[in-house]
Amino acid sequence: MAKLALALHGGAGTILRSLMTAELEREYRGGLETALRVGWSVLKNGGSSLDAVESAVVSLEDFPLFNAGRGSVFTHDGKNEMDACIMDGARLRAGAVAFVRNVKNPIKLARLVMSRTEHVLLGGEGANQFAEQMGVEMADDAYFFTDHRYEQLLKARDAGIVQLDHSAVELRILDDMPGPDKPPEARIKGVETVTRSKGTVGAVACDSAGVLAAATSTGGMTNKKFGRIGDTPIVGSGNYADCRCAVSCTGYGEYFMLSVSAFDVAARMKYKDISLSQATAEVVEHLTAIGGEGGLIAVDSAGNVSLPFNSDGMYRGWIDSDGKTVTAVYD
């Protein structure tokens, strides 16, 4: 019997300690712990890793502080557009959705794409039509409305920027607007990003049969336009699982796409014959080298877990074979 393992994340970025209150940190950790318990209950009762990661991510999607499902950020038009991906490492099958609206739990829809269609990725109106056909639970706009997310949108609109930010993010309009003698980076709309946390949630697991699975979900970017899609629904970029490892990424999605980060972990393990911890460390090092920020969670078929990141913090949690729950935010 393989060693059971479960890890999850709730986003990574510049999560400043100076802005993190004890109460807020308890709320984040509580959301992580709840999701861990949900996923672990599946594994310890002999359930599959696929069911475990789906259940854990559903819990994270239902928690309003994380940028996925109910807590999703707003687009420029004041809408919630969500992406998700799930992958079964044993069968190398995956399902993903992008641009879905009013779907309560996008990760459930992604799994239906995998199990009920011959496709991998469905997007936009077609994905929503598929959701209706499958009888997926929907929710009205009010369900996805949270005050802190809407305030983020208003600030981002006023500043004229697109934010890849988590709920801990605050924008402060500078009283002294930078003049022409200031460096270009200081002249960007006179905005100081106090903390930037890239909001995505994800889970990876190894079940009693040694089968691996990964699931990732996101609400995207605050004030996003032009139909931008990040790494989350792209198999191999933000989410991947095979017989060696299961990986879920969080951070600046464009860089994870450019480096195909999730698959790169598996490739390094296969072609370099190195451990999970070595492979994930190298992937994050490469991410840093090309200017990317964020982190990832990964598990291998022996139940080893790795959760590296190059940002100031990453909301994360894991459970070892003894059932001990651990959550963390900072290094």
Burial label, 120 (beta-carbon count in 10 A; 0-12, 13-18, 19+): middle
218 catalytic? Reply is: no
In this structure, are residues 266 and 235 in contact, taking their beta carbons and an 8 Å threshold? no
Determine the Cα–Cα distance for residues 59 and 212; give it in Å rounded to an integer.
19
Site of tokens 């310890």: 44
Site of tokens 């399902």: 95
CA distances from 232 to 40, 147, 167 (A): 23, 25, 18
Residue 33's contacts (CB-CB under 8 Å, 6 or more residues apart) are 317, 325, 327
In this structure, are residues 228 and 252 in contact, taking their beta carbons and an 8 Å threshold? no
In this structure, are residues 254 and 312 in contact, taking their beta carbons and an 8 Å threshold? no
Determine the Cα–Cα distance for residues 308 and 78; give it in Å rounded to an integer.
34
Quick one: which H or E segment has residue 245?
A: strand 245-251
First CA to last CA distance, the chain: 32
Instruction: Say which of 75, 146, 195, 200 is annotated catalytic.
Output: 200
Please give the backbone phi and psi of residue 28, each rounded to the nearest 5 degrees, phi first. Answer: -60, -45
| Residues noted as catalytic | 200
